Structure 1
Amino acid sequence: MVESGKLDADDRRVLHALQLDPRASFARIGTVLGLSERTVSRRYHRLRSQLILRIVGHEQTGRADWLLQIMTAPAAVDAVSRALAARRDTSWIAHLAGTGGLSCILRTTATAGDALEQLRRMPGIGSVTAQRLLAPVAGVGGWPGRLQALTPEEQRALIEPERRAPSVSGTGRLPTDEPLLSMLAADGRMSIARLARGSGMPESTVRRRISELTARGVLMFEVEVDPKLYGRGTDVLCWLTVRPAAVRAVSEALNAHSEVAFAATTTGDSNVMAILELTDSEALHHYLADSIGALAGVERVRTEIVSDWIKRAGPLPMLRR
């Protein structure tokens, strides 16, 4: 296992490059970074095999993200956690230290009525509070703490080929895309050859459909990296109650904070939620007192330390081949 602080400079550069273009070939990354294709491949597969790096493909259209806070009987926490983790529509399942409850993202239809009612009826669940995530306001391109390894020139060299692609092309999601999307959810960098075998499509069709679905915003890729690799060992969920007139200014401020891995506006009693990555509890104290405390319009703050992540971005990983 790679320990906190053990990433070398080239590891960080490769991770930054993958954040900019998650499916970029190892050859192209190597060319831009001045590394051999073999070196890039070896570093990627080392981190991935240790389950501390993962790239996940998400279907975006026709879906809504709901942040759930779930209270369970103490004896039922493990069983409920396993049941939630097995679902295809859940991600970022966390066990919360303060309440002993669970938090997770449910990705479903905008109304979500049936899915939420089904969850509330699950054995062992006492209560479910749901907040619709309205608009992401920070961390959309990845946590800023891992986006500092490449020079501006290197970043442009990786991004510009994507910008040259047409913004919209081809068709939206088709029923025949389901196998392809399912495989990319399990491994966003799965090879074209494996995707073709699993989907029954020709390789040329697979390449075209990934390009079309990405261009249309149907498909996006999330790079999941253990923040401990960057010395951030304390994960915190933070709910802010912000005066409506200050939401935009607070959102812009959060987007500039290196501690914020992700933030979004929400429905519910609090109207902004954030996931924080911090070194320790003392850093949390200073962040709340100095950074959040300096934001005009923040009326109330609630935090929960994550004791462990049960599931992160994508489906539970299978054994590596």
Structure 2
Amino acid sequence: MARVLMSESAPIQPDDVRIIRALQIAPRASFAAIAAALGLTEGAVNRRYRRLRADGVIRVAGVVNPGALGQSRWLVRLRCRPGSGPAIADALARRADVNWVSLGAAGSEVTCATQSRTREQREDLLGQRLPRTAAVLDINAAAMLRQFLGGRGHYWSALQGTLSPQEEAALGSGGPPFTESPVVAREPLRLTAEDEKLFDALAVDGRAGLVDLAAAAGLTPGRVSRRLDALLRHRVLHIDVEIAAAALGYHARAHLLLRVHPSEVKNAGRALAREPGIAFAAAVSGPWNIHAVAHCRDLDELFEFTSERIGPLAGLQSMEVSPVLRQVKQAGTRLVDDRLVDDRLLVPSGARARC
């Protein structure tokens, strides 16, 4: 387990939600541009953003897409010995190649997503470390075959309608629109040493300025600007706006495992992507051929959502709803008490499992 001292968070105000939505649309837009679009002052946007970030409500970070580099992505479910799940989840969350981790089933089930940068890294985790972990009773690993929702350009849409169409149009776009495409690129891009340094800087702060990025990568601001545009355009990188959903009143998160007739998988995945309650949806290998993540305000809303919105999907044969007991990590960012935290603030507390 881990602990961190956090200041008491201030209540979320309507303008805070508007700023979060603006960042979803254009995560690297200047405070001046956001202020102009929303009718606020630049100083107010600056202050509210910094408070939201300090309170762990949002975090803007650059996220690398391993598929663009030729590497597959996997969704993994672990059944663990009673009492061992939290330590295993924490150990997985500390790995750079595991970008989200959740704990469920009264703490005895861990679900995570891996995005290994090399084949050796993936095989070390899935083929060696996890099978040899004594507290892991069962492993179910599914390859992601097609992503319908999740990541920059097609974000969690529960905040749609927060801004007017005119306000959204004034913000422009923070990257190319999401288009359905193979998870693994057939012609992967080769990275340079400067790219890796750029990724490291953006992982810390996705809104870092060109001068700071240039200093980190050892390039000129002009070259950094051109390279960043190219990496975003080729979907090697996206600027992700992570949101602590509980801070906005969404306290019930669940994994939805769907078995859909093969002829309807595409249609079902695209339908899920249009649902505001869905934050992630992908076609996967294995007996459950669609994996989705739902955010609802409470368990009653989750019941209504799954029965009324998901249940009628054409081709749906069966569904498992697995509520999340605790979200440990999402899109590379750790969570403590439902707030996003910097790993550097985490303090070890007791022995941890090794993965």
TM-score > 0.5, shorter chain as reference: yes
Give the conservation status (yes or no) of the 8 Å contact 1:173–1:218.
Answer: no
Q: What is the rounded CA distance, in whole Å, between the counterparts of 1:109 and 1:189 in structure 2?
A: 23
| Aligned counterpart for 2:253 among listed residues 229, 235, 238 | 235
Give the conservation status (yes or no) of the 8 Å contact 1:88–1:315.
Answer: no
Partner of 1:84: 92
2:59 paired with 1:54 = yes
**Cα distance, 1:75 vs structure 2:** 4.1
Say if 1:233 and 1:315 are closer, same or farther in 2 by CA, change over 3 A. Answer: closer
2:214 paired with 1:196 = yes
Q: What is the rounded CA distance, in whole Å, between the counterparts of 1:65 and 1:24 in structure 2?
A: 30
Give the conservation status (yes or no) of the 8 Å contact 1:98–1:305.
Answer: no
Partner of 1:138: 149
**Cα distance, 1:82 vs structure 2:** 2.7
User: What are structure 1's unaligned runs of at least 5 residues?
Assistant: 164-170
Partner of 1:293: 311
Deviations 1:78-127 (A, max 9, x none): 33223211111111110113562111110025864343113323453333
Say if 1:43 and 1:89 are closer, same or farther in 2 by CA, change over 3 A. Answer: same
Specify the code of the residue in structure 2 equivalent to 1:93: V
2:84 paired with 1:71 = no
Give the conservation status (yes or no) of the 8 Å contact 2:74–2:144.
Answer: yes
Give the conservation status (yes or no) of the 8 Å contact 1:136–1:264.
Answer: yes
Q: Tell me the secondary structure at the aligned position of residue 317 of structure 2.
A: strand
Q: What is the rounded CA distance, in whole Å, between the counterparts of 2:161 and 2:193 in structure 1?
A: 39
Q: What is the rounded CA distance, in whole Å, between the counterparts of 2:97 and 2:74 in structure 1?
A: 10
RMSD of equivalent CA atoms: 2.3
Q: What is the rounded CA distance, in whole Å, between the counterparts of 2:125 and 2:344 in structure 1?
A: 29
Say if 1:302 and 1:148 are closer, same or farther in 2 by CA, change over 3 A. Answer: same
Specify the code of the residue in structure 2 equivalent to 1:124: A
Partner of 1:212: 230
| Aligned counterpart for 2:168 among listed residues 155, 171, 175 | 155
Q: What is the rounded CA distance, in whole Å, between the counterparts of 1:128 and 1:182 in structure 2?
A: 31
Specify the code of the residue in structure 2 equivalent to 1:76: S
Partner of 1:117: 127
Specify the code of the residue in structure 1 equivalent to 2:78: I
| Aligned counterpart for 2:327 among listed residues 303, 309, 313 | 309
Give the conservation status (yes or no) of the 8 Å contact 1:138–1:261.
Answer: yes
Q: Tell me the secondary structure at the aligned position of residue 90 of structure 2.
A: helix
Deviations 1:177-208 (A, max 9, x none): 11210221232123334333333333333333
Say if 1:79 and 1:7 are closer, same or farther in 2 by CA, change over 3 A. Answer: closer
Q: What is the rounded CA distance, in whole Å, between the counterparts of 2:96 and 2:173 in structure 1?
A: 33
Deviations 1:17-43 (A, max 9, x none): 111111111111111112122111111
**Cα distance, 1:280 vs structure 2:** 1.2
Q: What is the rounded CA distance, in whole Å, between the counterparts of 1:245 and 1:226 in structure 2?
A: 36
Partner of 2:199: 181
| Aligned counterpart for 1:245 among listed residues 263, 267, 274 | 263
Q: What is the rounded CA distance, in whole Å, between the counterparts of 2:128 and 2:91 in structure 1?
A: 12
TM-score (norm 1): 0.88
Q: What is the rounded CA distance, in whole Å, between the counterparts of 1:218 and 1:13 in structure 2?
A: 28
**Cα distance, 1:131 vs structure 2:** 0.9
Q: What is the rounded CA distance, in whole Å, between the counterparts of 2:254 and 2:214 in structure 1?
A: 40
Specify the code of the residue in structure 2 equivalent to 1:150: L
**Cα distance, 1:222 vs structure 2:** 1.5
Specify the code of the residue in structure 2 equivalent to 1:214: L
Identity of aligned residues (%): 31
Partner of 2:138: 127
Q: Tell me the secondary structure at the aligned position of residue 50 of structure 2.
A: helix
Partner of 2:25: 20
Deviations 1:123-161 (A, max 9, x none): 533332111122222355211112321111221222268
Q: What is the rounded CA distance, in whole Å, between the counterparts of 1:106 and 1:136 in structure 2?
A: 14
Q: Which moved more, 1:154-163 or 1:247-256?
A: 154-163
Deviations 1:251-309 (A, max 9, x none): 23212222111111111111111100011111122122222222221101011111111
Q: Tell me the secondary structure at the aligned position of residue 69 of structure 1.
A: strand
* Count of residue pairs the alignment pairs up: 311
Say if 1:295 and 1:162 are closer, same or farther in 2 by CA, change over 3 A. Answer: closer
Q: What is the rounded CA distance, in whole Å, between the counterparts of 2:273 and 2:35 in structure 1?
A: 30
**Cα distance, 1:315 vs structure 2:** 4.6
Say if 1:263 and 1:110 are closer, same or farther in 2 by CA, change over 3 A. Answer: farther
Q: Tell me the secondary structure at the aligned position of residue 168 of structure 2.
A: helix
Q: What is the rounded CA distance, in whole Å, between the counterparts of 1:260 and 1:297 in structure 2?
A: 19
